[in-house]
């Protein structure tokens, strides 16, 4: 990611570095001029004209430093801000392009940690890290060059004494900072994950009265995060002052030895003043080394986390367009395993255009995974699923899902108007089409009860709607899409059996050319389907019409009779 960004912005960084180094060079001229002035004023008569010339030069240099500093900040820090926007957009695009299995492995809170903290740390590396690195190197070179111009080389060599200790300290502490910051970032991801999970399910937590338990678990995570942060802080707290101490020690030695040289007359007072000024300027590079190691190691740790995330394979969307008008969906001996578990075992079925299909079975029988594979949300081997005789792996995933729409169990809604939730993904749409789709889903009669009708805001995740209303809104969205095949994955579970039956009947009457596949536990609502497939333990064990399956006296009949008894007891 960084390499791709720098390929576009390297010119800005180079120009910014040139300005930064130029400013450092201008700054080392000031002590030299001050030393010249001191040498002039201590030897009367004083030529005020020459003194004024030096004063004007110092003012010009100060003005140049101000202008140059503005320019390099705009170039380097501005580029880092561009990176932040680029990285966040790239990560967002990565999340959308990733397969469902990727999202199964990474929680929302975890992904948000990458999106915020890690991107911020890398951005700091590309701004403050670059600035302090260049500044420390350039300033050190220029300061030592300035020293050699004004004092004896032996005094300059004394100021080099701390450098080996600085290098050793940087190597030792840098590795520890890198390791511990990476641990801190992982802790932050875990906390973000737990916080997001708790906030999203706060009603459930309160309903079960387990606030104290969740609070204790979250406190435990926060304590771990604080402890790891403290360990990181302890390293930084030792490293920074150590570098400052080495710089101060150098200054003390130089003043002691340099003072003796001034007294003995081997060094002019003005040159010694310039030398002391240079030593003061050298303190910043020493301190900057400590800071830059922190910034670079933290940025590198976050970069490794981001690069590791970016290296995960994307969902494969290349391939042919969906093969025209839907005619058949055929599955041949489909096997599928996930996380070491065999979920589907030798599934065979065939669906023709216009059929109303139902897939039923006990919880965990593989129904939901089957329809996810139908829409290419997970990868499978060739030769198992075919649309119009074309292997699903040869069909472009985006084109497939535009024609074969899966409405999932989770009826996720967005914090906007009902109409925009129904016409999801479109900026311009017909209000009449939205209303027509809602009528088929038996949602229209609910909408007209609201004061603002279709302009009603549904709130975060549809909080203002009941469970049944959310499901019918989600169904309205799928009907509005007008795909050739629509798969309803238990989307009517919060709707009573009678209403669910009416909705499915209306879909069949209104959308005669649409092929529907209904995944459900409610047998009564799908008993009029053209074909019913019964799943158990990842296999299709029965198929046929309602009457045919009842005659088999198998699992379907047992489930149907159990539900009949439950409804009678409920009445």
Distance, in Å, from the CA atom of 114 to the CA atom of 98, rounded to the nearest integer, reads: 15
Q: How far is CA 61 from the centre of its chain?
A: 45
Distance, in Å, from the CA atom of 239 to the CA atom of 294, rounded to the nearest integer, reads: 9
- Across 523-550, b (16+ Cβ under 10 Å) vs e yields bbbbbebbbbbbbbebebebbbebeebe
Check residue 470 and give its pLDDT: 79
CA neighbor of 270 nearest in space, from 93, 427, 383, 151: 151
- Cβ neighbours around 341 below 10 Å, total: 8
Task: Report helix, strand or coil for 563.
Answer: helix
Check residue 567 and give its pLDDT: 67
Distance, in Å, from the CA atom of 195 to the CA atom of 82, rounded to the nearest integer, reads: 29
Distance, in Å, from the CA atom of 122 to the CA atom of 259, rounded to the nearest integer, reads: 45
DSSP line for 189-233 = HHHHHHHHHHHHTHHHHHHTT-HHHHHHHHHHHHHHHHHHHHHHH
| Look-up of token digits 């700091």 | 124
Global model pTM greater than 0.75: no
Check residue 38 and give its pLDDT: 74
- Stretch (H or E) spanning 270: helix 269-310
CA atoms within a 13 Å half-sphere pointing along the CA-CB vector of 212: 1
All structural domains of the chain, each given as residue ranges with its CATH number in brackets, are 87-310 (1.20.1560.10), 328-570 (3.40.50.300)
Mean pLDDT of successive 10-residue stretches along the chain, which has 571 residues: 83 90 84 75 74 85 88 89 86 77 69 78 85 84 79 71 70 72 75 68 62 76 81 76 75 77 76 75 69 75 80 72 88 87 88 88 85 86 90 86 82 76 78 84 83 78 70 82 84 70 75 82 80 89 88 85 73 48
Residue 45 per-residue DSSP state = S
Q: 4: which residues sit within 8 A by CB, 6+ positions away?
A: none
Check residue 273 and give its pLDDT: 76
- 57 class by beta-carbon count within 10 Å (0-12 exposed, 13-18 middle, 19+ buried): middle
476-495 pLDDT, tens per residue? 888 888 788 888 887 776 66
Check residue 438 and give its pLDDT: 84
Interstrand relation of 539-544 and 531-536 (parallel, antiparallel or unpaired)? antiparallel
């Amino acid at each position: 990611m960084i390499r791709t960004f720098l390929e576009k912005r390297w010119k800005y960084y180079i120009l910014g570095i040139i300005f930064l180094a130029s400013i450092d060079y201008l700054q080392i001229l000031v002590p030299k001029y001050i030393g010249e002035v001191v040498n002039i004023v201590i030897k009367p008569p004083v030529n005020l004209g020459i003194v004024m010339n030096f004063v004007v030069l110092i003012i010009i240099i100060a003005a140049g430093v101000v202008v140059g500093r503005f320019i390099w900040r705009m170039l380097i820090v501005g580029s880092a801000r561009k990176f932040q926007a680029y990285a966040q957009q790239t990560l967002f695009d990565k999340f959308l392009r990733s397969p469902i299995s990727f999202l199964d492995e990474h929680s929302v809170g975890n992904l948000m940690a990458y999106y915020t903290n890690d991107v911020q740390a890398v951005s700091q590396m590309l701004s403050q890290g670059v600035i302090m690195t260049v500044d420390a190197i350039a300033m050190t070179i220029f300061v030592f060059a300035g020293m050699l111009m004004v004092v004896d080389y032996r005094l300059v060599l004394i100021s080099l004494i701390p450098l080996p200790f600085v290098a050793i300290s940087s190597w030792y502490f840098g590795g520890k900072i890198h390791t511990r910051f990476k641990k801190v970032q992982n802790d932050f991801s875990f906390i973000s994950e737990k916080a997001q999970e708790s906030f999203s399910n706060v009603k459930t937590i309160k309903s079960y009265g387990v606030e104290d338990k969740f609070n204790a678990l979250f406190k435990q995570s926060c304590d771990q995060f604080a402890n790891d942060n403290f360990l990181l802080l302890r390293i930084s707290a030792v490293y920074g002052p150590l570098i400052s101490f080495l710089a101060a020690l150098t200054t003390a030695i130089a003043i002691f030895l340099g003072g003796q040289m001034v007294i003995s007359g081997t060094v002019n007072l003005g040159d010694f003043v310039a030398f002391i000024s240079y030593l003061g300027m050298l303190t910043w590079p020493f301190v900057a080394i400590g800071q830059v190691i922190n910034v670079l190691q933290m940025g590198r740790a976050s970069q490794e986390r981001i690069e590791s995330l970016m290296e995960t394979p994307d969902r494969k969307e290349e391939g042919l367009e969906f093969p025209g008008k839907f005619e058949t969906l055929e599955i041949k001996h489909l096997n599928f395993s996930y996380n070491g578990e065999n979920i589907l075992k030798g599934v065979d079925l065939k669906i023709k255009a216009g059929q109303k299909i139902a897939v039923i079975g006990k919880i965990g029988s593989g129904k939901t995974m089957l329809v996810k594979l139908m829409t290419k949300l997970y990868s499978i081997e060739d030769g198992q699923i075919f649309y119009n005789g074309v292997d699903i792996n040869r069909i472009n995933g985006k084109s497939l899902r535009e024609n074969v729409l899966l409405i999932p169990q989770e009826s996720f809604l967005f914090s906007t108007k009902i109409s925009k939730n129904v016409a999801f993904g479109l900026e311009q749409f017909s209000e009449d089409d939205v209303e027509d789709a809602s009528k088929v889903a038996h949602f229209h009669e609910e909408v007209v009860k609201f004061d603002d009708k279709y302009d009603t805001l549904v709130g975060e995740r549809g909080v203002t709607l009941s469970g049944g209303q959310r499901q019918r809104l989600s169904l309205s969205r799928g009907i509005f899409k007008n795909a050739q095949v629509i798969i309803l994955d238990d989307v009517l579970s919060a709707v009573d059996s009678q209403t669910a039956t009416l909705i499915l009947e209306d879909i069949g009457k209104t959308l005669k050319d649409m092929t529907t596949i209904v995944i459900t536990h409610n047998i009564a609502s799908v008993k009029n389907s053209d074909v019913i497939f019964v799943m158990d333990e990842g296999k299709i064990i029965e198929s046929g019409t309602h009457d045919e399956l009842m005659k088999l006296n198998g699992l379907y009949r047992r489930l149907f009779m159990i539900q009949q008894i439950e409804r009678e007891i409920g009445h």
